[in-house]
Structure 1
Amino acid sequence: MPEPLATLPRRPVVLGSSSRYRRELLSRLRLPFEVAVPDVDESPRAGETPRDLALRLALAKARAVASQHPGAAVIGSDQVADLDGEPLGKPGDHERAVAQLRRMRGRAVVFQTAVAVVCAETGFEQLDLAPVRVVFRDLGDGEIESYLRAEQPYDCAGSARSEGLGIALLQAIESDDPTALVGLPLIRTCRMLRAAGVPIL
């Protein structure tokens, strides 16, 4: 007779990311997990689309950490802001954030959010994309300046935190995985973890 699921040993989970936002999101699932920072070059390749860049980096991060934790289900994720096919990275400072928000005002930006789960021990690999279409309001320079001074989202792709004051910059968000915009699509992550042998509930 098979053992009840609850008594089977749980496969370890490792989040391959340096992002505090992804760490906070994954903690919502109430799973024990470790964090490991992947050593991956995140530079775009010549001609690479934002979508392909996000998918490639999510899988590369998961594979890099899985090689160090072969028995674990390793989560890798990446997000690239896509403005008409051009990737927008994290601004890093105030001036670049101002320039990004000025370019995006009144326009739609697709946040290409990719997630991968890899287990080296079993050969399991899954990869998926959760694109989020975000429409920015036609922001005035004063609004942009006030927002950036208040929240300083210089480590966020697209220079805005939708989970905070940044929601006031937006006209609409279209997504089928509501945490994808913050950086980790949890619906897809749950599906992949279950497939990798990690029970969520």
Structure 2
Amino acid sequence: MPDLVLASSSPYRRTLLERLGLPFQWAAPDIDEEPLPGETPEQLTERLALTKAQALRERFPTHLIIGSDQVLLLDGKPVSKPGDHEAAAAQLKHCSGRTVRFTTSLCLLNSATGDYQLRSEPFDVVFRELSDASIERYLRSEQPYDCAGSFRMEGLGIALFRALRGDDPNSLIGLPLIRLCEMLRNEGLQLP
């Protein structure tokens, strides 16, 4: 079995990948993540997922390298990680009672051959109506300032939603495990 490498510094992606029970290494790729002019969200996340994996190819020449990237769209525009309490409160107010779309792209690169698999996973989150008080309680409890959308779906953030729509809820955390398992099987790995 080729060694796995996660091309990410995200502790959330590492925690997700640990669920598969496969040994892996991780390394942070150093890439420019700015969107290109006219690039759609899907094109952006696919390009970045592939670029992250390719950035580690020379360092890990006989590995399966996993790259992933995610964008949150609100009113058709990308939304970044809030960074602080005020920005997170503003994001959640804007999401209140609305449906937002996450696009998460996943790449599995075989660094020995240069072959790769690339896939985008859309996922919609339907927020319930959120009062200022409920937003404050949530943010004080979880402080999700490093998460696009200002919530942690794997934590208390689930209480903010009315519905989730998509094939793989792990996409919201940044690593679509169902698709990753499929890609790993395509590379000959035996998974349960």
Q: Fold match, TM over 0.5?
A: yes
Structure number with greater Rg is: 1
CA drift at 1:173? 0.3
**What do you get for the CA RMSD once the two structures are aligned?**
1.2
1:21 corresponds in structure 2 to: 12
Normalising by structure 1, report the TM-score. 0.91
Amino acid at match of 2:18: S
1:149 corresponds in structure 2 to: 140
Structure 2 unmatched runs, 5+: none
Summarize deviations over 1:9-65 as a string: whole Å, max 9, x none: x10100000010110010111101000110111122233222222111111111111
- For these two proteins, the number of residue pairs brought into alignment is 192
Which whole-Å CA distance do the structure 2 matches of 1:142 and 1:48 have between them? 37
**SS of structure 1 residue aligned to 2:88:** helix
1:176 corresponds in structure 2 to: 167
Amino acid at match of 1:175: G
CA drift at 1:178? 2.6
Q: Identity over the aligned pairs, expressed in percent?
A: 56
State whether structure 2 residue 38 is matched by structure 1 residue 47: yes
**SS of structure 1 residue aligned to 2:87:** helix
Which whole-Å CA distance do the structure 2 matches of 1:64 and 1:195 have between them? 22
Check conservation: 1:49, 1:87, Cα contact below 8 A. no
Normalising by structure 2, report the TM-score. 0.96
Structure 1 unmatched runs, 5+: 1-9
Structure 1 runs, 4 residues or longer, greater than 4 Å off: none
CA drift at 1:120? 2.2
State whether structure 2 residue 57 is matched by structure 1 residue 66: yes
CA drift at 1:143? 0.8
2:48 corresponds in structure 1 to: 57
State whether structure 2 residue 180 is matched by structure 1 residue 189: yes
Which whole-Å CA distance do the structure 2 matches of 1:171 and 1:135 have between them? 5
